[in-house]
Amino acid sequence: MSFLELDHVGKHFGPTVAVDAFSLTVGKGEFISFLGPSGCGKTTTLQMIAGFLDPSHGAIRLEGRDLLAVPPSRRGLGIVFQSYALFPHMTAAENVSFGLEMRRVSRTEREARVRAALAMVGLAGYEDRHPRRMSGGQQQRVALARALVIRPSVLLLDEPLSNLDARLREDMQIELRQIQRNLGTTTILVTHDQIEAMSLSDRIVVMSKGRIEQIGTPQEVYERPASAFVAQFLGKTNEFAATVDRTSSPARLVAGSWSASAPAGVSGTVTISVRPERIGFGESGLSGRIASRIFQGNQWLFQCETECGPVIVIRPNNGQPQPAQGEPVHLAWLAQDMSLRAAGGAS
Amino acid sequence: MSAAIDSLPASAAPSRETRAAWALALPALMLFTGVVVIPLAMTVMLSFHDWGQYKGIEPVFILKNWREIASDPYYAEMFSRTFRVAALATLITAVLGVPEAYILNRMNSPWKGFFLLVILGPLLISVVARTLGWALLFGGNNGLANKLMMSLGLIASPIRFMFTETGMVVALAHAMMPFMVLAVWTALQRIDPQIENAATSLGASPFTVVRRIILPQIMPGVLSGAIIVFSLSASAFATPAIIGGRRLKVASTLAYDEFLNTLNWPLGAAVAVLLLAALVLIVVGSNALIERRYAELFR
């Protein structure tokens, strides 16, 4: 199962710890995202896999072999850079062909593979264009074709879509995922965009301050965030304090006028975390008032003032009447939609 | 500029705007005309005047000076030496300056500033002091440069530097090095810092990265540096005058001698005008060639 393995990889720059004890096993054909805010060490980790940086400690293995002993030019990894780093003095075809020339692929095979790679990214007919005569999206595709044409064992993507406008980015996400599925190339994507990470990856590695916060499928990290950081970084979330009332039997979890039967093993004050789209308006529950509502096309965003502080609620625009501004409401959610943490603690 | 003019009301705008533009440009235009155009035109005119040992300058229009330059092989030798020395100095600055700029560009911050200063050094020293320094280093058979190279076993017998083209080329190459390094360095800074990593990840060796990826991209910088170095070397005066001495002349020292020693101003003017015209042709021509050849890199 383990194709690429990072074993307690760390990187120090002087006294600063950029990456600390990073351990991850990547399966063949898997699409992994390193997600985190800037400066969390995700790009540093990628550069260590690529060989542009040497880890301070730890080991990186590819198919069981020590990757750190291999110079970057022999690692055979395909890399797409944030700036694309295309060779401006070469045409699109020459750019894509470069890696094959370095591998001494014969001219006829090279030409066929270059044409196929450019066609795959939807750039057939652009062979003789120079990069500076192409749009950002087209340059991005050339960079992808250049990285994929060498049939890399692992494809590394360093924020490849961050320079594209929103619409193009969405198109490229779908296309990137399709190409990756068709080729079955093991891929690691570095991104700070949670939507991008969730829509592309099989698994997400959420990072913060050089440490791994959580590794899991997009659903796992979204539904069951392992830490407050993950909960807040991925999507919006509401957090408020609740107490466990042991006087009643069975024990109940109480937040203002909302209560539910307390799960086993919790006591005292806890923090409840609920996603805004999992909260509904009901007859009973946490009572509050709509402070403002914002129409967003496919959904409504409500800001509610409640007994437990401000709460955000997102309801789909499904044709049902929605509460108006200033209207008193009761907020309710299902026990399975919330996660509990001991109050005060960071996680 | 044109957009700003277009956005003004159409009525009365053109004439007033044009007049204002001329009025604003007038001081600079007058200065340019006064200190560049008029003296240059006078020099060109001077080159067509007659001159005699006893009659002095006669303001007539004859081709005597130009005919003399064209027919006497002495002048052909002067000009070919001028351009040979300039070309060799350019070649040396390119061969040494490109790696110098590349290394400088890869240095880290405290050293980068220090070595940039070292490279700019020749520009900070008076040209006469610098050239006299070279004269001391060269200084006949017992010069420091020769002693050093002989003790290192690089050469068997001393090389003549003073009053030779070799000495001129060495001193000029040193003086012109900053222009080459700065031109190449500017080109290097335009390069995407990830591009070497990109080429490496595709399997290129460090040598291949430099040859196939870096050099082609900085070639316009190298060539524009070469144009600057060539034109400054070909018109340099102090270095050829001191290293070359009284006998080994180049075009600029020749013009100087005609003006101040022989007092044949018209002939000196003709030499100066020819040097200027040749340089303008070379610079404009090669610049056009570079821009056409490297159109993709200038976009």
In total, how many domains does chain A have? 2
Which pLDDT tens digit goes with each residue over A95-116?
999 999 999 999 999 999 999 9
Tell me whether B213 touches chain A (CB under 8 Å). Answer: yes
A25 and A173 both lie in a single domain: yes
In a domain, residue A193? The reply is yes
| pLDDT confidence of residue B2 | 43
Q: How far is B231 from chain A (nearest CA, A)?
A: 28
- Rounded distance between C-alpha atoms, residue A144 and residue A161, angstroms: 11
pLDDT at B295 over 50: yes
| pLDDT confidence of residue B1 | 40
β A154-158/A186-191 pair status: parallel
| pLDDT confidence of residue A94 | 96
- Which chain B positions have a beta carbon within 8 Å of A86's beta carbon? 198
A100 and A33 both lie in a single domain: yes
Show me where the domains of chain B are located.
Answer: 74-298
In a domain, residue A347? The reply is no
| pLDDT confidence of residue B141 | 66
A324 and A306 both lie in a single domain: yes
8 Å CB contact of B297 and A88 = yes
Chain A to chain B Cβ contacts (< 8 Å):
69
Helix B144-151 to helix B127-138 angle (10° resolution) is 50
Task: For residue A245, give the nearest of A214, A210, A270 by alpha carbon.
Answer: A270
For residues B228 and A239, the model is more confident at B228
Whether A218 and A201 have beta carbons less than 8 Å apart is answered as yes
| pLDDT confidence of residue A347 | 39
β A252-255/A238-245 pair status: antiparallel
Position A241 confidence tier, pLDDT thresholds 50, 70, 90: confident
Three-class SS of chain B:
CHHHHHCCCCCCHHHHHHHHHHHHHHHHHHHHHHHHHHHHHHHHHHCCCEEECCCEEECCCCCHHHHHHHHCHHHHHHHHHHHHHHHHHHHHHHHHHHHHHHHHHHCCHHHHHHHHHHHHHHHHCCHHHHHHHHHHHHCHHHCHHHHHHHHCCCCCCCCCCCCCHHHHHHHHHHHHHHHHHHHHHHHHHCCCCCHHHHHHHCCCCHHHHHHHHHHHHHHHHHHHHHHHHHHHHHCCCHHHHHHHCCCCCCHHHHHHHHHHCCCCHHHHHHHHHHHHHHHHHHHHHHHHHHHHHCHHHHC
Position B176 confidence tier, pLDDT thresholds 50, 70, 90: very high
Q: Which residues contact B62 (CB under 8 A, 6 or more apart)?
A: B48, B49, B50
Whether B299 and A133 have beta carbons less than 8 Å apart is answered as yes
A321 and A195 both lie in a single domain: no
A223 and A254 both lie in a single domain: no
A273 and A225 both lie in a single domain: no
**Domain termination site, one of A212, A229, A246:** A229
- pTM of the predicted structure, to 2 decimals: 0.81
Interface predicted TM-score (ipTM) over 0.95: no
- Rounded distance between C-alpha atoms, residue A142 and residue A96, angstroms: 7
User: For position A262, which CATH number holds?
Assistant: 2.40.50.140
User: For position A154, which CATH number holds?
Assistant: 3.40.50.300
Which pLDDT tens digit goes with each residue over B106-150?
998 889 889 988 888 888 888 899 999 888 888 866 788 888 888
Q: How far is A151 from chain B (nearest CA, A)?
A: 11
State what percent of residues in chain B have pLDDT above 70. Answer: 94
Task: For residue B57, give the nearest of B68, B71, B47, B72 by alpha carbon.
Answer: B47
Residue from B190, B201, B210, B293 whose CB has the most chain A CBs within 10 Å, to mutate = B201
Tell me whether B33 touches chain A (CB under 8 Å). Answer: no
8 Å CB contact of A98 and B202 = yes
pLDDT at A30 over 90: yes
A135 and A243 both lie in a single domain: no
A137 and A18 both lie in a single domain: yes
**Domain termination site, one of A173, A197, A229:** A229
A53 and A156 both lie in a single domain: yes
A224 and A245 both lie in a single domain: no
A133 and A105 both lie in a single domain: yes
Which pLDDT tens digit goes with each residue over B249-278?
999 999 999 999 888 999 999 999 999 999
State what percent of residues in chain A have pLDDT above 90. Answer: 59
- Which chain A positions have a beta carbon within 8 Å of B202's beta carbon? 73, 98-99, 102, 146, 150
**φ, ψ for residue A65, nearest 5 deg:** -95, 150
A215 and A301 both lie in a single domain: no
8 Å CB contact of B297 and A150 = no
8 Å CB contact of B208 and A81 = no
Which pLDDT tens digit goes with each residue over A256-293?
888 888 877 777 888 888 889 999 888 888 888 999 99
Domain limits at A16?
A: 2-229
- Domain spanning B74-298, CATH class: mainly alpha
